[in-house]
Amino acid sequence: MATAVSSRFEVVDVAPKIGSAIHTDKATLLSGERAKDIREIMERRGVIVFPEINLTDDEQIAFTHTLGTFAHEDGEGAKDGKDSVYPITMDSSINPIADYLKGAFFWHLDGTMSEKPILASIMSARALAPVGGETDFCNTYAAWDELPADEKTQIENLKVIHAMWRSQLYWKPEPTFAELEAWMARGSNTLPLVWKHRSGRQSLVLGATALEVEGMGTAESEKLLVKLRTWATQPQFSYRHTWKLGDMVIWDNTGTMHRALPYDHKSGRLMMRTKLEGEEAFA
Ligand SMILES: [Fe+2]
């Protein structure tokens, strides 16, 4: 005999051009029965908030699996075949490479050093800073769509060289030579400024790793990149998430940028992140 299932699943937009909140329950999320809807909303709205859903680490891993291919952190997890959540914190006793995460305080998308960036990140708030620590998101599809036509024509075929070291200079403008060399060992990656997705939609590819526009002089390149970042991060394309304990947020990494707002690095703020493997190369 079929059992009647009544599951809550209410979708409310949180900003005009980016972000929806889904009010639901753990069982609905873990069942996977709404996975297709969540994928569709994520692509269309960029960011989804699950207010105070309070998933445990294991539940977050299980939920991530319902949406796509679970992405392991570099070299970690895959070794013992176990999936794991990744701690985002400035506490180096919890995350030994906490310093490296400081690039996240500036607008970026994840995975600009790979051909196929991760599809999405899923982050849960486990401990909050008393002040600050919000996460900003902007919709790079909407930012492209609303650029004036003549500007679109000027930039649509440009390529941008991305390098991880550029984003590290944001938080450490005077590294030692050894630090710079270590960052530079990650190499660089040349990406289209305008990503033409399989869906037919287009988005801007910008962020803190954007070093220079290929074939353009340094000053002109910097002007264009700053102009476009300023454009894409305007309030009408953005959503600022003020975290509550137990909130979980998922964002489409391929059509958004994000950044953390400053907070006391000794506050104990702790987020747990999982990721979905990329499904489409920059093109
Ligand atoms: Fe990030």
pLDDT tens readout for residues 16-46: 999 999 999 999 999 999 999 999 999 999 9
CA of 258 to the centre of ligand 1 (A): 6
Residue 241 phi, psi dihedral angles, 5° rounding: -95, 120
CA of 27 to the centre of ligand 1 (A): 28
CA of 215 to the centre of ligand 1 (A): 28
Q: CA–CA separation, 188 vs 114, rounded Å?
A: 9
Alpha helices in 157-217 (DSSP H): 164-171, 177-184
CA of 209 to the centre of ligand 1 (A): 11
Q: CA–CA separation, 204 vs 193, rounded Å?
A: 6
CA of 279 to the centre of ligand 1 (A): 18
CA of 229 to the centre of ligand 1 (A): 16
CA of 3 to the centre of ligand 1 (A): 41
Q: CA–CA separation, 25 vs 182, rounded Å?
A: 44
**DSSP classification of residue 11:** E
CA of 259 to the centre of ligand 1 (A): 7
Alpha helices in 21-176 (DSSP H): 26-31, 35-45, 57-67, 140-145, 149-155, 164-171
**pLDDT tens profile 187-213:** 999 999 999 999 999 999 999 999 999
CA of 4 to the centre of ligand 1 (A): 40
CB-based contacts of 260-263 (< 8 A; 24+ apart in sequence): 260/104, 260/105, 260/133, 260/134, 260/135, 260/136, 261/105, 261/132, 261/133, 261/134, 261/135, 261/136, 262/105, 262/132, 262/133, 263/129, 263/131, 263/132, 263/133
Q: CA–CA separation, 152 vs 188, rounded Å?
A: 25
CA of 104 to the centre of ligand 1 (A): 5
The mean pLDDT value of the chain amounts to: 94
pLDDT of residue 77: 45
State yes or no: pLDDT of 5 exceeds 80.
Answer: no
**DSSP classification of residue 262:** P
Q: CA–CA separation, 133 vs 105, rounded Å?
A: 9
**pLDDT tens profile 41-54:** 999 999 999 999 99
Q: Would the pTM count as exceeding 0.75?
A: yes
Angle between helices 164-171 and 177-184 (to 10 degrees): 140
CA of 102 to the centre of ligand 1 (A): 10
Residues 6+ apart with CB under 8 A from 26: 53, 54, 55, 59
CA of 46 to the centre of ligand 1 (A): 14
CA of 139 to the centre of ligand 1 (A): 14
State yes or no: pLDDT of 100 exceeds 70.
Answer: yes
CA of 282 to the centre of ligand 1 (A): 17
CA of 181 to the centre of ligand 1 (A): 22
pLDDT of residue 119: 98
Q: What's the average model confidence in pLDDT over 120-126?
A: 98
CA of 221 to the centre of ligand 1 (A): 23
CA of 8 to the centre of ligand 1 (A): 30
Residues 6+ apart with CB under 8 A from 50: 21, 22, 24, 29, 247, 248, 249, 250
Confidence of residue 184 (pLDDT cuts 50, 70, 90): very high
